[in-house]
């Protein structure tokens, strides 16, 4: 089974983004909707990890995803993205969890793996392993990247092999 995530670097610059001062719009697909604030691609030029990745696999866009308090997303695999680069921008006192499924244990239980985000760390995120986010007391803010290639052309292992 493929890895669900991998630490690939650190970024003071991205971590310094104040997600509460951004303009959010709803971005939706077949069975999902996110509040997202787009960020300029110029960030690639000042962030070495993104610059390196972009030299191999073009980044199409990036932004900050917001999930309101007391919400969770259904277990899912992303419709379009095969892989992403993420960083949690929420404060340390935000109570939220990102969980990956490791598979079914029996008819009503699944084994899980929690991604505990560390401050300033950039994570390669395998969007094709079933995952969910559970958020409690405050809005949750996540920096996230979308590549030009979709899940049929670019997977976690392709980008992971760069590191």
Would the pLDDT of 52 be above 90? yes
> What is the C-alpha to C-alpha distance for residues 96 and 29, in angstroms, rounded to an integer?
23
pLDDT band at 91 (very low <50, low <70, confident <90, very high): confident
Query: What phi, psi does 55 have (nearest 5°)?
Result: -70, -20
> What is the C-alpha to C-alpha distance for residues 83 and 139, in angstroms, rounded to an integer?
24
> What is the C-alpha to C-alpha distance for residues 48 and 43, in angstroms, rounded to an integer?
9
Residue 28 vs residue 37, higher pLDDT: 37
Its pTM surpasses 0.85: yes
Provide the residue count of the chain.
Answer: 163
- Amino acid 47: pLDDT: 97
DSSP 19: G
């Amino acid at each position: 089974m493929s890895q669900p995530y991998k630490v690939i670097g650190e970024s003071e610059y991205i971590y310094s983004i104040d997600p509460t001062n951004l303009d959010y719009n709803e971005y939706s697909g077949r069975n999902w909707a996110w509040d997202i604030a787009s960020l300029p691609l110029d960030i690639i030029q000042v962030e070495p990890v993104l610059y390196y990745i972009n030299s191999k696999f073009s980044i199409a866009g990036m932004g900050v995803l917001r999930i309101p308090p007391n919400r969770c997303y259904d277990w899912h695999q992303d419709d379009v993205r095969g892989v992403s680069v993420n960083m949690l921008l929420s404060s340390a006192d935000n109570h939220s969890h990102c969980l990956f499924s490791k598979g079914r244990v029996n008819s009503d239980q699944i084994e899980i793996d929690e991604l505990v985000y560390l401050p300033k760390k950039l994570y390669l995120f395998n969007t094709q392993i079933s995952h969910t986010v559970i958020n409690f007391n405050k809005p949750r803010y996540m920096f996230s990247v979308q590549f030009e290639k979709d899940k049929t052309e670019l997977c976690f292992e392709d980008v992971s092999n760069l590191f």
